[in-house]
Each structure stands twice: as C-alpha cells, then as structure tokens.
C-alpha cells in the first residue's frame, strides 16, 4: 500500500493560438516532501478524443515543452510556442458547436522504475487570437 494518497486533477484549459502556452502547475501539498519530481519525465498528449490513436500534439519534458521549475515542491510549467499551437491545434473554442474541446492528460514517468502516474487530465479549448504578426 502506498505511503500517501495522491489525487488526480481534472482541469479544463483554454489556450489562445497567438501566444505561448506558459501555464505553471504545482502538484500535491506544498509541505508534503514524501515525493518529488527528481528523475522523472513528463508526457502530455493532446488528442481529438481520449480514444484517438494519434495525438495532435505530443509534448514532453525531454523536448523542453514541459519544464520542471522546482523538483522538490513539484512545480512545472508548459513551454509551447504559438507556432506549435497554430500548427497542431485548430481553433475549437467552445462557442463553435461543431468542434469539441481536445482531450489531454499529463503523465509522470519515473526514470528508474518506469512507473507511470497520472497528474492531470481534462479538456483543452483553443481560441482564435487577434494579434498575430508572423
């Protein structure tokens, strides 16, 4: 039996396709030092729906898309530029009825044991940005 119980966060995210995705997240209780992000890799796939076989975007800490800011306090942030968002994720904001939000989950992989732990899951809506100057 594990020494502590961790919950999984269900989070709906909204991205704009004209700015970088830089949201930061902290997992667990700040004073809980029974686990950390040392020797961990992070994966986040975004798909049309949870059963789709191919992701629209596959992000990872190995590619620099997910950055660990503090391994002890378990803080990380997304580092995805607007070009990647525009290329991989067509606008699907909730105001467009025929387009559903995209499904995602964030998985932490222990580099030593291979254990995979779900940290967060939910839906992503992508909104059309106004100021785009490429």
- Is residue 111 within 8 Å of residue 1, measured between CB atoms? no
Whether residue 97 has pLDDT greater than 70? no
Q: Which domains does the chain have, with CATH numbers?
A: 9-28+36-127 (2.60.40.10)
Summarize pLDDT for 17-73 with one digit per residue, the tens. 999 999 999 999 888 999 999 999 999 999 998 999 999 999 999 999 999 999 999
pLDDT of residue 21: 97
Model confidence, pTM: 0.87
Between CA 103 and CA 50 the distance in angstroms is 6
């Amino acid at each position: 039996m594990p020494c502590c119980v961790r919950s999984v966060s269900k989070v709906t995210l909204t991205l704009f396709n004209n700015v970088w995705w830089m949201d930061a997240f902290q997992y667990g209780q700040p004073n809980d030092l029974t686990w950390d992000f040392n020797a961990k890799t992070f994966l986040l796939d975004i798909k049309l729906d949870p059963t789709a076989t191919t992701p629209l975007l596959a992000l990872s800490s190995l590619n620099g898309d997910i950055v660990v800011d503090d391994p002890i306090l378990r803080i990380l942030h997304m580092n995805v530029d607007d070009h990647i968002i525009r290329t991989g994720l067509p606008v699907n904001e909730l105001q467009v009825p025929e387009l559903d939000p995209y499904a995602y989950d964030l998985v932490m992989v222990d580099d030593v044991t291979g254990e995979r732990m779900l940290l967060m899951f939910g839906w992503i809506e992508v909104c059309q940005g106004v100021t785009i100057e490429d």
